[in-house]
Structure 1
């Protein structure tokens, strides 16, 4: 059984991911939460299954050493954190970079980071009303790709505009297209779940929207993405 720790488990995507992980016998999941109220939410959505537990921690306020101690003993780290505009640098940039360092310190190589569509493109971010958000995502991605390429088996996921539909189970990988579309949060959670154990996604980044390619298909991820 693979042990996965999820930062951002109480977010909209995070909750859907926890539900998927709770239903999978092959995963033992630790959901990182910030308070007891969030712990109760996780308990409810996971139906109190024994393969999901919680631990209370704030990624923005925690030291690398504390994060490493929390990550230690797991096989994979998922980062789907977001500050919602409050503490942007503390969470979306410094928080996730501390988690990269902590994963290395804890000797956990597998890491999945949820970023933002075309975060690699400064011009795209500069034209967005969420420019500061894109700046944080851009540098977090860049640091992961450049400074941790040899020490972490990472995958970067960059979904487009998020919606709250039921999901289609299908995506389209984007490579600079201007038709940005949308994607349901349910499908983003499904993407995280599917790529967790896919070695073909190691060291790669994917920009994606809702489309016609099956999320569960190996071909969707093996033949696309940015190295």
Structure 2
């Protein structure tokens, strides 16, 4: 299985790329000309493109796509829109055209109600909301993962998932990456939209009962 990863050189994306490689599948890192490729595992295939101007064939030959890119809440609103909304929507459409089997979106808790988010994050959450809404109706198999605040701690392998609201407020990037990697092929993840935090259940068990999107 060949998996295109947008945001592969980011803090979560580089861990995700490594986990996909270790699983025996083939990660393909979507990178820009200016990307620091030294953070990627040895031997990882790359595909050069910018999320703000994706070529039509960017997803050709891919079995799945994972969007793990994010501008965060500290970038100008125009860049947030260009990456988190327009870039994501463009990649969704190109993945659909290429016959990609599943599109996995790394979103954020609060994307359902961006107007209720912290003032500095509302525009970012609105961009995520719009991208998620497009994915739900795009006509491609999808999973939307909405973690709480990310930490750089070692993963525990134990999580909590909910189609409503989770009880915790942190989760490690490593555990998020593990969940994203599994979402490309777990049948229960098809059409699922769920929040994610650190919890008491093993990732394998939690992934087995993800509630489908309403």
TM-score by length of 2: 0.90
1:221 Cα deviation from its structure 2 partner:
4.2
Deviations 1:126-181 (A, max 9, x none): x4531111110111111111x21xx2110000000011100111111245548441
Q: Is it true that 1:143 corresponds to 2:134 in the alignment?
A: yes
1:129 is matched with: 120
1:65-214 alignment runs, 5 A limit: 66=55, 68-84=56-72, 85-86=75-76, 87-125=79-117, 127-145=118-136, 147-148=137-138, 151-174=139-162, 176-177=164-165, 179-214=167-202
Task: Report the 3-state secondary structure (helix = DSSP H, G, I; strand = E; otherwise coil) of the residue aligned with 1:10.
Answer: coil
**Could you tell me whether the CA contact under 8 Å between 2:32 and 2:48 is conserved in 1?**
yes
Q: 1:12 to 1:223 in 2, by over 3 A?
A: closer
TM-score by length of 1: 0.85
Task: Report the 3-state secondary structure (helix = DSSP H, G, I; strand = E; otherwise coil) of the residue aligned with 1:69.
Answer: coil
- RMSD over aligned CA atoms reads 1.9
Deviations 1:92-135 (A, max 9, x none): 0000000111011111131100000131124433x453111111
Task: Report the 3-state secondary structure (helix = DSSP H, G, I; strand = E; otherwise coil) of the residue aligned with 1:186.
Answer: helix
**Could you tell me whether the CA contact under 8 Å between 1:162 and 1:184 is conserved in 2?**
yes
**Could you tell me whether the CA contact under 8 Å between 1:116 and 1:157 is conserved in 2?**
yes
**Could you tell me whether the CA contact under 8 Å between 2:70 and 2:83 is conserved in 1?**
yes
1:44-55 alignment runs, 5 A limit: 46=41, 48-49=42-43, 52-55=44-47
**Gaps (5+ residues) in structure 2?**
none
